[in-house]
Amino acid sequence: MFNSKEIRWFGKKEDKEISSWFAGRGITFENTEPRTDFYLPLPGKKDIGIKLREGNIEIKHLLAKPEKGKLSAKAHGYFERYTKWSFSTEKDDVLSHKIIQAKEYDWLEVQKERMGCKLMEGSNGIKHLVKIEDQIPYGCQLEYTRIKLNNTTWYTFGLEWFGEKEIEVGPELVEKILGNSTLNGKNSMGYAEFLNMGKL
């Protein structure tokens, strides 16, 4: 179990400014490892998410009402605080096989291609970016993901703070990522709320 703080936006069109920022660090949708997550449909539930991914069940519970705020003058949205649990399933688990391979029980199949990195703080207090797979005690994960759900493509940009200390993400970094783009509260929400949208 661990806690996290997140802010996320969804859109139907690729934001070339954000993609270009990641591409400048050698990260593109084409050179990322695709994956598929299966989400348990929970109509009307915006405060909890349950997904099956690569042999793990992950449960994500919203701890309080989302808090409106901003990362920079160009990025307004809703910060959410979660508690997360993760449980491993057996390799021969029948239920997970039925969900993933047999497509039973109508779980939502979400295909993802994720570009990402982590912001960490060095011993001298200076912040720098590292690979998304690097294990660090605390920091902020920056990610831009292309998702396919019900034959529709979406894009989501998110920041997730994790670990023993909440690192500060300065507006300068956010505006470098966004370039000329802007993000607003209308499209800011967590995955559980997004998956409950009637138009999906």
**Each residue of 72-92: pLDDT tens digit?**
999 999 999 999 999 998 888
Give 124 or 172, the one with higher predicted confidence.
Answer: 172
Give CA–CA dist 7/76, Å, rounded: 9
Q: Which range (9-13, 162-166, 174-178) has the least confidence?
A: 162-166
**Each residue of 136-151: pLDDT tens digit?**
999 999 999 999 999 9
The DSSP secondary structure of 63-128, one letter per residue, reads -S--EEEEEETTEEEEEEEEEEEEEEPPTT-HHHHHHHTS--TTPEEEEEEEEEEEEEE-TTS-EE
Give CA–CA dist 66/190, Å, rounded: 9
Give 169 or 2, the one with higher predicted confidence.
Answer: 169
DSSP 137: S
Give 55's pLDDT tier (boundaries 50, 70, 90). Answer: confident
pLDDT at 199 over 80: no
Give CA–CA dist 90/170, Å, rounded: 42
Write down the pLDDT at residue 200: 58
Is the pTM value of this prediction over 0.85?
Answer: yes
Q: CB atoms < 10 A from the CB of 111, how many? A: 13
Domain segments of the chain as ranges: 2-195
Identify the helix (H) or strand (E) that includes residue 178: helix 171-178
Write down the pLDDT at residue 145: 98
Which architecture characterizes domain 2-195 according to CATH? Beta Barrel (2.40)
Residues near 26 by Cβ (< 8 Å), separated by ≥ 6?
none
Give CA–CA dist 129/167, Å, rounded: 12
- Distance, C-alpha 46 to centroid of its chain: 15
pLDDT at 1 over 90: no
For the chain, give the mean pLDDT: 94
Give 98's pLDDT tier (boundaries 50, 70, 90). Answer: confident
Write down the pLDDT at residue 105: 87
